Amino acid sequence: MTIAPTHDRPYARSTVKFVRMSASKVRVVLDLIRGDHVVDAIETLALSERKASHDIAKALRSAVANANHNEEIPTEELYVSACYADEGPTLKRFRPRARGRAGRVKKRTCHITVEVARMTDEEIAHRSARLEAKGATSTPRADRARRVARSKKPDDADQVVDDAAAAPSDAGSSRDSHDAIESQPESQEVPGEIPEPEHGDATAAEAADESEATSATADSDDDGEVNAVDESPFGDGSHALIDGDPAVMPEGFEIKGNASSKLYHVPGSTFYKRTKAEVWFANEEAAEAAGFQKPASQREADE
């Protein structure tokens, strides 16, 4: 196990060189993770919107891998002991200016160095105790739910935290809960699932619709069913098509009715000529008694 003279504990280092970015921009991000646990540092870099976060995260992961492989230090015992950015070579470029002159452009580079070291036994014990105090709510999913709960109203915060604590912490517990649901008997109701009505049972709304449709039509030819062949398929004041021709108007029945849309059109209205009649009515009262109504535009005009 290699220990540097200036360090009193095992450590590992990683350097990313010639990053096309000024050192001052990188140092702003490095200040956010210095001294943090490596897991917390990686999360901070993932949420950072600065471009330097990508290169710093690369260096941090490389340093953690060096500590795991070369020093045999678990990731749970590592923290960011040092991180800094040194200036690299500056590339000189020129930009054309007025009167044949040239403006100098300096493209800065830097070298990013990240060091991770093992925490002391007291620090490891303190972190372990803090995680154990959280219990099952210390999973990433629960931590995210807890952060969301803080941003919500106080009434909703407790419910979000309780849901996170009740959620399975690993894949094994999820598999156990799935097996438990499958082992339930078929007759047992699953919470949140609406039971389907049994066949043969009609709801009150369906019964009302059926009774209304029956009262609005009439079996004029006594063939046992109400259909378009009936002379008055929608009761008194209605008349069926003559020989199935919508262009032939029965005498005394001038109002056109559309059985599919339940709309009727009076002579002289906007859609009267372009509408193919499926049933004829003698007056508006007969059409409305059969459940038909005027188009919405005409109803608004009458109002």
CA distances to 55, 227, 240, 280, 298 from 283, in Å: 82, 21, 14, 9, 16
Please report the pLDDT score of residue 218 as a whole number. 46
pLDDT, mean over the chain: 76
Going by pLDDT thresholds of 50, 70 and 90, the confidence category of residue 269 is confident
Average pLDDT over residues 220-232: 53
Q: Kindly report the pTM of this predicted structure.
A: 0.44
Going by pLDDT thresholds of 50, 70 and 90, the confidence category of residue 194 is very low
pLDDT digits (tens, 9 = 90+) for 7-34: 677 889 999 999 999 999 999 999 999 9
Which is more confident, 207 or 285?
A: 285
Is the pLDDT at 214 greater than 60? The verdict is no
Mark out the alpha helices in 110-225 (DSSP H runs). Answer: 121-134, 140-151, 154-166, 171-182, 204-216
Lowest mean pLDDT among 129-143, 172-186, 230-244: 172-186
Going by pLDDT thresholds of 50, 70 and 90, the confidence category of residue 204 is very low
Please report the pLDDT score of residue 94 as a whole number. 95
Please count the other Cβ atoms lying within 10 Å of the Cβ belonging to residue 189.
9
Is the pLDDT at 193 greater than 80? The verdict is no
Going by pLDDT thresholds of 50, 70 and 90, the confidence category of residue 135 is low
List residues bridging with 92 in a β-sheet.
106
Is the pLDDT at 156 greater than 60? The verdict is no
Which is more confident, 64 or 227?
A: 64
Average pLDDT over residues 213-238: 57
Query: What 8-state DSSP symbol labels residue 149?
Result: H
CA distances to 7, 30, 107, 281 from 76, in Å: 20, 21, 39, 84
Going by pLDDT thresholds of 50, 70 and 90, the confidence category of residue 54 is very high
Top mean pLDDT of 56-65, 157-166, 230-239 is at 56-65
Query: Which of helix, strand or coil describes residue 235?
Result: coil
State the Cα–Cα distance between residues 59 and 17, nearest whole angstrom.
10
Give CA 90 to chain center in angstroms.
46
Which is more confident, 146 or 186?
A: 146
Please report the pLDDT score of residue 279 as a whole number. 86
Element (H, E) at 185: none
Going by pLDDT thresholds of 50, 70 and 90, the confidence category of residue 208 is very low
Going by pLDDT thresholds of 50, 70 and 90, the confidence category of residue 216 is very low
Question: Do 254 and 283 meet the contact criterion of CB atoms below 8 Å apart?
Answer: no
Percent of the chain with pLDDT over 70: 66
Lowest mean pLDDT among 43-47, 158-162, 253-257: 158-162
Please report the pLDDT score of residue 163 as a whole number. 55
Q: Which domains does the chain have, with CATH numbers?
A: 11-119 (3.90.470.10), 228-302 (no CATH)
Q: Enumerate residues 6+ apart whose C-beta is below 8 A from 208.
A: none
